[in-house]
Amino acid sequence: MKEFKVKRFYILLLGIIVPQIIMAQTSKGVVTDSANLYKEMLDDPILLNEVVVKSKRRRYSRKNNPAVELMRRVVAAREMTRLENHDYYQYTKYQKISLALNDYNAKDSDSISTGKFRWNDHIEISPYNNKVIMPLSVDENVKQHIYRKVPRKEKDIVLGTSSTGINQLLVTGDGINTMLKEVFQDINIYDDYVRLFQYPFPSPIGSHAVSFYHFYIADTVMVDNQECYHLEFYPNNPQDFGFNGELYVLTDSTLHVKKCSFTLPRKSDVNFITNLHVDQTFTQLDNGEWALSDDDMWAEKSSGRYRGT
């Protein structure tokens, strides 16, 4: 089987629970200076009260439901398209794991002492949630993953690594790396369960998907010039360890997942995780097989304390 490449980008944003939402009014449409943006946010805040919008629930039935019938076919077809069906395969994986302080306040740096390191010179706007963040560490590695079916064996060969940031300044750097690697594990939606934050979550295309999730066909769309069914899914119980998300499934006989994105329901209580988003894209190889090509995950984690207003 031809070798392919996978790109994985993971970022954990550490923050504190803020009881009020602050919206910023700026006079410029584009702000390139993060420090100036932070000052503008402080100069003209607007405090908003909490607003809850509820939609009327519709009764969900799996009987004679086109979305359910489609997902049953998708689940049945997944075994035919798994890479593990091959006797051998290998791929090169580039992985980047980042750690940052979320919703950063420049005053927080007053209590941090790391010699001549100027924390406020490194604040930026997160492309994931558009909040002011303070990057703490970035760890990158390139590995070659090798799989053999019989006897079953998998191994990673490290081709290169790079680590920058707080890991180089604190003696707890190794502990931070271990924590991040435990949090951000590889996600394979073709497994029955996705292990995330040390908890098992039913995969949206796993054996139990149809009984665990509610599925809805939203539309038929083109993704990278390929026709796909666009489906939305939600857990039966929003407090269960499951996902809210979307699937883009090829309309041809393979019914392979072209793209998926999912989040944690807001009512989930998983290790102080206040927000989680995963995006995965699959690409067809020259030999016709499909493989994961892009894996992007970011999460916001609360420290569990409050900041005064």
- Give the model confidence (pLDDT) of 214-250 as tens digits: 999 999 999 999 999 999 999 998 778 899 999 999 9
pLDDT for residue 305:
41
Kindly tell me if the per-residue pLDDT of 38 is higher than 50. no
Domain layout of the chain by residue ranges: 4-50+58-303
Task: Give percent of the chain with pLDDT exceeding 90.
Answer: 32
Least confident of 45-59, 63-77, 164-178: 45-59
Q: Identify the DSSP state of 56.
A: P
Q: What is the pLDDT of residues 99-148, one digit of tens each?
A: 888 777 766 555 454 555 555 666 777 777 778 887 878 888 899 989 99
Kindly tell me if the per-residue pLDDT of 203 is higher than 70. yes
The pLDDT-based confidence of 154 (bands split at 50, 70, 90) is very high
pLDDT for residue 17:
32
Burial 90-120 (b: 16+ CB within 10 A, else e): bbebebebbbbbbbbbeeebeeeeeeeeebe
Q: Name the residue with tokens 């392919």.
A: 4
DSSP calls for 180-222: HHHHS----TTSSEEEETTEEEE-TTSTTHHHHEEEEEEEEEE
Residue 226 dihedral angles phi and psi, to the nearest 5°: -125, 135
pTM of structure: 0.74
CA distances from 169 to 33, 112, 114, 179 (A): 26, 12, 7, 17
Q: What is the pLDDT of residues 162-176, one digit of tens each?
A: 888 765 555 455 666
The pLDDT-based confidence of 152 (bands split at 50, 70, 90) is very high
pLDDT for residue 70:
97
pLDDT for residue 101:
80
Mean pLDDT, residues 253-277: 82
